[in-house]
Chain A
């Protein structure tokens, strides 16, 4: 079955450490996105990528980095520069330009301990 997979589901990080969240899709979608969701809040865009080897900063990119070396994969690294990383992270994909039905992964809940 086609879909979008995030791993791990839960992640604990010590302060000062970098951590990478995985996002893989087999939907053959061109565009992929990373969102952050805080309790009772909407989704805020961190980074997005329309095509392989190209990505753009979203609204809250500071302290995060991404890569898009393959169409299927869009990993997100939360760096030590991110001051408040504890949140629910959601990865999504869409077919392409103007196609707005986004498919989401099940999310990764990151907690800094």
Chain B
């Protein structure tokens, strides 16, 4: 089956940099995505990596190593509004040929002054 591991909680200081790691196990791997969810809200898409390397989008960057089944989300210049839960999600091909997306349990980021 599929499994993803990410830390349950992370605390960081405003203005600092934080890295949230994600390791996964899956077959039929397509790519790794990251989502942000504020309390009571809907997840919003942040980034997607299908190939090895770093993808940068403003203050957020995401990294993937397919050989290590590992990725991370890097948040720079942290702001208070970045306090939220962050989910990694793996896209994979099921035995029936369907694309499926499996989410990790999320990392709750608390940004402190």
B105 / chain A contacts, CB cutoff of 8 Å = 41-42
Residue among A59, A92, A98, A105 making CB contact with B91, cutoff 8 Å? A98
A25 is an interface residue with CB less than 8 A from chain B: no
| Interface size counted on chain A using CB atoms at 8 A | 27
Q: Do A104 and B42 touch (CB < 8 A)?
A: yes
Q: Residue among A56, A58, A90, A100 with the most chain B CB within 10 A?
A: A100
In the complex, per-residue mask of B90-113: 1 if CB is within 8 Å of any chain A CB, else 0: 010010101111111110000000
The answer for the CA separation of A80 and B69 in the assembled complex, in Å, is 40
Which of A20-38 touch B at CB < 8 Å? 31, 33, 35
What distance in Å separates the Cβ of A93 from its nearest Cβ neighbour in chain B? 11
The answer for the CA separation of A58 and B1 in the assembled complex, in Å, is 12
A94 / chain B contacts, CB cutoff of 8 Å = 99, 101
Q: Do A100 and B91 touch (CB < 8 A)?
A: yes
B94 / chain A contacts, CB cutoff of 8 Å = 56
What distance in Å separates the Cβ of B66 from its nearest Cβ neighbour in chain A? 15
Q: Do A50 and B102 touch (CB < 8 A)?
A: no
A101 / chain B contacts, CB cutoff of 8 Å = 33, 45, 48
Q: Do B98 and A56 touch (CB < 8 A)?
A: yes
Q: Do A100 and B48 touch (CB < 8 A)?
A: yes
A107 is an interface residue with CB less than 8 A from chain B: yes
Given contacts A31-B99, A48-B98, A56-B98, contact A106 B42 (CB under 8 A): yes
A61 is an interface residue with CB less than 8 A from chain B: no
Q: Do A102 and B101 touch (CB < 8 A)?
A: yes
A11 / chain B contacts, CB cutoff of 8 Å = none
Q: Do B41 and A106 touch (CB < 8 A)?
A: yes
Given contacts A43-B103, A106-B41, contact A100 B33 (CB under 8 A): yes
The answer for the CA separation of A104 and B45 in the assembled complex, in Å, is 9
Interface residue ranges, A against B (CB under 8 Å): 31, 33, 35, 40-45, 48, 50, 56, 58-59, 90, 92, 94, 97-98, 100-107
